[in-house]
């Protein structure tokens, strides 16, 4: 098979750097969207000018590629909807990255009708437009590992400031979770095998948020009152701390042949934090029986 040209929006980001490397290793010719003043695209890849904050620029940027992978940040309703419309107009096959939060609370799977959390209330419309045009959607949950993500960037700094890990409200809230290194294999499988207009859940396990708080707090936790504003470290996604989900990825695993290598977020993060000199309890380095593997 001749090499395919893929444009990765967000190629210089936390997930995008690993996605770019994964697709390059798989034989794709990788390009990255370069916004004015943004983090430079890795010189190993071709830089293509364009900006999610300037949706018309995306039409020319995405035109002519064999595949476009959208890993860009959520901006706002106007820009996100205009952006997906522009990418659809460009005419290149596309994988849109959404999130499990679009499904709402409870036990949910790939075929459930979205009931998005108000924080991302328009993202189901982004999905609908992409799917109606024959593109594909992938929904990761909490992305962790390799020094990035919500746990490292939000939960750890707050725990260091307060001397305890913080969760919001009552315990036993679960989030779907996936290690960042397990995402490129799924995107490659979807790129190669998934039918147009299909949606896939990138969830390796469902993990207790208070268990993550205990990890970063070395056993000490604080339940933040639900009626109070969340700490500033949590402000970007504060409302999601109360969103309880048990997300299934059985269909994705079965039909895409996806087998995530990391299915214990607590143990993986504990090992990573310990290697960086962060205090962790010995019991956090082992298997976490509270995780639910979907």
Span 218-272, pLDDT tens digits = 999 999 998 899 999 998 888 899 999 999 999 999 999 999 999 999 999 999 9
Residue 294 makes CB contacts below 8 A (sequence gap 6+) with 176, 201, 203, 204, 205, 206, 246, 247, 248, 249, 250
Bridge partners (DSSP) of residue 106 are 245
From the candidate CATH numbers 3.40.50.150, 3.40.50.720, 3.40.1440.10, 3.40.50.300, the one assigned to the domain spanning 5-141+179-202: 3.40.50.720
- % the chain with pLDDT above 70: 99
At 151, phi and psi to the nearest 5?
Answer: -65, -50
Please report the pLDDT score of residue 239 as a whole number.
84
pTM of this prediction?
A: 0.96
d(Cα 252, Cα 260) in Å, to the nearest integer? Answer: 11
Instruction: Name which of 237, 177, 234, 182 is nearest 207 in CA terms.
Output: 177
Span 104-127, pLDDT tens digits = 999 999 999 999 988 889 999 999
Residue 156 has pLDDT above 60, yes or no: yes
Residue ranges per structural domain of the chain: 5-141+179-202, 143-178+204-285
Does the domain made of 143-178+204-285 have the CATH classification 3.90.25?
yes
């Amino acid at each position: 098979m001749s090499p395919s040209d893929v444009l990765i929006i967000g190629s210089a980001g936390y997930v995008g750097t690993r996605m770019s490397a994964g697709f390059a290793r798989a034989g794709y010719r990788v390009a990255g969207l370069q916004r004015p003043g943004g983090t430079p695209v890795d010189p190993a890849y071709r830089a293509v000018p364009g900006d999610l904050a300037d949706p018309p620029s995306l039409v020319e940027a995405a035109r002519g590629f064999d595949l476009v992978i959208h890993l860009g940040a959520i901006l706002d309703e106007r820009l996100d909807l205009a952006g997906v419309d522009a990418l659809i107009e460009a005419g290149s096959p596309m994988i849109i990255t959404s999130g499990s939060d679009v499904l709402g609370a409870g036990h949910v799977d790939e075929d459930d009708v979205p009931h998005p959390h108000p924080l991302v209330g328009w993202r189901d419309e982004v999905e609908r437009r992409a799917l109606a045009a024959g593109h594909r959607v992938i929904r990761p949950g909490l992305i962790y590992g390799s020094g990035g993500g919500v746990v490292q960037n939000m939960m750890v700094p707050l725990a260091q400031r307060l001397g305890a890990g913080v969760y919001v409200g009552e315990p036993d809230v679960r989030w779907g979770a996936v290690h960042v290194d397990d995402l490129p294999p799924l995107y490659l499988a979807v790129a190669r095998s998934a039918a147009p207009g299909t949606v896939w859940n990138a969830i390796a396990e469902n993990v207790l948020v208070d268990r993550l708080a205990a990890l970063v707090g070395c056993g000490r936790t604080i339940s933040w009152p639900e009626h109070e504003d969340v700490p500033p470290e949590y402000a970007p996604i504060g409302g999601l701390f109360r969103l309880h989900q048990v997300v299934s990825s059985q269909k994705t695993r079965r039909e895409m042949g996806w087998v995530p290598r990391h299915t214990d977020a607590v143990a993986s993060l504990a090992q990573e934090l310990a290697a960086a000199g962060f205090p962790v309890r010995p019991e956090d380095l082992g298997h976490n029986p509270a995780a639910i593997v979907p």
